[in-house]
Structure 1
Amino acid sequence: MQQRTESPRRRDHRPGLSVGRVFGVPLYLNASMLLLALLITILYGEFAGHRLGLSPPAGYLIGFGFVVSLLGSVLLHELGHALTARRYGIGVRGITLELLGGYTEMDRDAPSPRVDLLVSLAGPAVSAVLGVAATAATLALPDRTLLNQLAFQLAVSNVIVAVFNLLPGLPLDGGRALRAAVWAATRDRHVGTEVAGWIGRAVAAGTAVLVILLVLNGILAPLAVPLMLLVAVTLWRGAGQSIRIARVSRRFPLIDLARLARPLLPVPTGTPLAEAQRRRDAAGQPQAVLAVTDSAGRPLAVVDPAAAAAVPVERRPWLAVDAVARSLAGLPTMPVDLDGERVMETVQTHPGAQYVVTAGENVVGVLHIADLAQLLEPRRNSNRKWNT
């Protein structure tokens, strides 16, 4: 199970089918969960039917009941994260149940190592309590009965979830706990995230190797191999994403809107696009933003570089800049003295390609998201071409 903080591209993304709220937390069901439900229903249904001497329909019905119980366990695990986070003032955007279990999406990271540790361990603690309770029920119920088998499977699944999630690598809960420990020791969240991310990659590789060994020794059924390998791949990708986020976040202090914003080159409303581009070239400012102004010289809109680039060259002398411009009123704004953290919060809240940079009531430039990406990830974006 994982916790995720919101990324700039996820705010309008629907993680799955909304199925209501639990303790005020939105709950979503990802379509991939149907695959897991079908797989467990068939596998466990056949196992329970054979062990208890039931007909196939009855076995599959029991398998489906186990799926419902397992989903309930996963939900309680995620609620452990969500309610603990909310207890410490961290907003929770929702819980999503999916193929590999589930995740809790939070609107920001924990404010301190202690809170990060408590939120991270809350989920495995819930799973451990459920595992102990199910184990006690297994021992108390008569052997080879339906309730005994369900209790046994719930005990095993919850104990496995608790132990596996405590492995010290991101994006697992144990990885976040490790990050909190390194953060507390170094006073640097980014160092903690990067260390836990690299260990997470080691955990992912180890998981893949373990799956192969279990199959070769006949312990793991071949039918379960694709799912287990998918777990390993997901862990690898999640760890890599954590490493990337740490490296990007470390560069937030470099964000200076006064230097990063592109200057404005005013052109009167009605100016042909070709003429406006010629004036920009003649001014020796190829990166300047063409600002459409009224008769008093006040900026009204800025030319959208992607829309301008899409206009055929032969049409540009006949097309006014107004036709490929976006109103300033429709663009998000940022004060020029905004620090890096607040700039990224604005980008997350209002995803877009351009942002108006202001000093008081004056527009001093336009920030292009491509320029921000280049600053934060110079190696990743060095070979990309952006519309300017």
Structure 2
Amino acid sequence: MQVGRVFGVPLYLNASILLLALLIIFLYGELAGQRLQLSPLGGYLVGAGFVVALLGSVLAHELGHALTARHFGIGVRGITLELLGGYTEMDRDAPSPRVDLLVSLAGPAVSAVLGAVAVAATLALPDRTVADQLAFQLAASNVIVALFNILPGLPLDGGRALRAVIWALTRDRHRATEVAGWAGRVLAVATALLVAALYAIDVLSLLALPLTALVALTLWHGAGQSIRMARIARRLPLVDLASLARPVHAVPSGTPLAEAMRQVADAAAGHQAADTTATNQAGDATTRAQPPVALLVTDSAGRPVAVVDPAAAAAVPAARRPWLGVDAVARSIADLPKLSVATDGERVLETVQAHPGAQYVVTAGEDVVGVLHIADLAQLLEPHRKMNT
């Protein structure tokens, strides 16, 4: 849910933030009420004040990343606050290890400064007052956030800093990301073991155990995603829409689905035969499988107007296909994202992330020359991952 803009950056709140707010208001509110001898309502109000201050601290941390990124010409799509903190979404990667290092360390630097200010306030304020209690909690929160975030493993800020250093040494951003991702997995396991040990010696209560365990699980998942994206990025130069997109076979609007599917099967067989003949003539024993043929629907003037959804077509019972027109299982081309056949792998991935879908129309000028299926792209980028085709 977007709640506004800060320095021009869109600010979003994840629904999980409500859980964090309720936990702090009730758990911390009771603790503060007992410590400061307040009524239950007074304690809950102090808890609510701490929620606001804590969210402000997390926002300041993320603004450190966002404003530093903008300083170096990297666009910022938004800041999201959630249960375990927040994250800043940028529209592209840092152009150099130096910029990556500075952007990653900007957030912990802000938290460290806020923590230092809150520590000074705690020392200056009278003991056992509402202001002193809030200052102490802010000091502890910001110092812990700063120290935890500089741990060297993705997805933490320290992991990004580690990636920047390895990137500078190896000149290979993808390898640096994988190394920092595996370091993040080590941190996740270490965090889980630490949580278990602290619980065993009664330092952590049973109530705190799920939240701290969630932190370890989030670290593991984030590190795994970083490793996965590094491996995908390494294969992006293999993306060639001219060969990856499914060739199209056009049928007029109103064509019975059974007839259209028969023509597609014949066209696919023709493409495969042509490819085999060309391979044999070249004397090359290696044969590359041709992608399936996509079914295009045209209007009375021969202009392409829709693309048949193969999953929807396959779901139609065979007995109904002679009586059902292709238009019933097709999507308008106007509703599908478009990619130029010359688009490189990085731009293709950006388009897919910005406009998630199953099919993408591939064009050469004004002509539709193919249809890219997300399953085909995924199979190319992650050949060892099981895919639903």
Match of 2:274 in 1: none
Unaligned segments of structure 2, at least 5 residues: 271-290
In structure 1, distance between residues paired with 2:361 and 2:144: 51
SS at 2:154 equivalent:
coil
Q: 1:291 and 2:296 equivalent?
A: yes
In structure 2, distance between residues paired with 1:261 and 1:90: 31
Instruction: After TM superposition, list the pairs within 5 Å mapping 1:204-283 onto structure 2.
Output: 204-283=188-267
Distance 1:136 1:378, change over 3 A: same
Q: 1:324 and 2:368 equivalent?
A: no
Q: 1:301 and 2:285 equivalent?
A: no
SS at 1:111 equivalent:
coil
Match of 1:53 in 2: 37
Q: How many residues align?
A: 368
Match of 2:279 in 1: none
Q: 1:338 and 2:322 equivalent?
A: no
Task: Quote the offset at 1:199 in angstroms.
Answer: 0.6
Which amino acid is the alignment partner of residue 111 of structure 1? P
Distance 1:102 1:385, change over 3 A: closer
Q: 1:122 and 2:127 equivalent?
A: no
SS at 1:271 equivalent:
coil
In structure 2, distance between residues paired with 1:133 and 1:77: 14
Task: Quote the offset at 1:131 in angstroms.
Answer: 0.7
Instruction: After TM superposition, list the pairs within 5 Å mapping 1:346-365 onto structure 2.
Output: 346-365=351-370
Task: Quote the offset at 1:353 in angstroms.
Answer: 1.7
SS at 2:57 equivalent:
helix
In structure 2, distance between residues paired with 1:361 and 1:169: 47
Match of 1:366 in 2: 371
In structure 1, distance between residues paired with 2:117 and 2:330: 63
Task: Quote the offset at 1:50 in angstroms.
Answer: 2.5
Task: Quote the offset at 1:321 in angstroms.
Answer: 2.0
The two structures have a TM-score, normalised by structure 2, of: 0.89
SS at 2:4 equivalent:
strand
Task: Quote the offset at 1:115 in angstroms.
Answer: 1.2
Q: 1:101 aligns with which of 85, 101, 109?
A: 85
Match of 1:13 in 2: none
SS at 1:337 equivalent:
coil
In structure 1, distance between residues paired with 2:122 and 2:137: 9
Distance 1:99 1:330, change over 3 A: closer
In structure 1, distance between residues paired with 2:365 and 2:343: 12
Match of 1:14 in 2: none
In structure 2, distance between residues paired with 1:268 and 1:147: 74
Q: 1:314 aligns with which of 315, 319, 333?
A: 319
Task: Quote the offset at 1:358 in angstroms.
Answer: 2.2
Q: Deviations over 1:192-222 (max 9, x none)?
A: 1111111111111111111111122222222
Match of 2:143 in 1: 159
Task: Quote the offset at 1:295 in angstroms.
Answer: 5.3
Aligned-pair identity (%): 76
Which amino acid is the alignment partner of residue 312 of structure 1? P
- Highest relative contact order (Cα 8 Å, sep 6+), 1 or 2? 1
In structure 2, distance between residues paired with 1:349 and 1:55: 50
SS at 1:110 equivalent:
coil
Q: Deviations over 1:71-94 (max 9, x none)?
A: 111111111111111111222122
- Is the contact between residue 256 and residue 326 of structure 2 (CA under 8 Å) also seen in structure 1? yes
The two structures have a TM-score, normalised by structure 1, of: 0.90
Which amino acid is the alignment partner of residue 109 of structure 1? D
Distance 1:135 1:367, change over 3 A: same
Task: Quote the offset at 1:298 in angstroms.
Answer: 4.5
Match of 1:8 in 2: none
Unaligned segments of structure 1, at least 5 residues: 1-16
Which stretch of the first structure deviates more once superposed, 355-364 or 135-144? 355-364
Which amino acid is the alignment partner of residue 40 of structure 1? I
Distance 1:18 1:362, change over 3 A: closer
SS at 2:81 equivalent:
strand
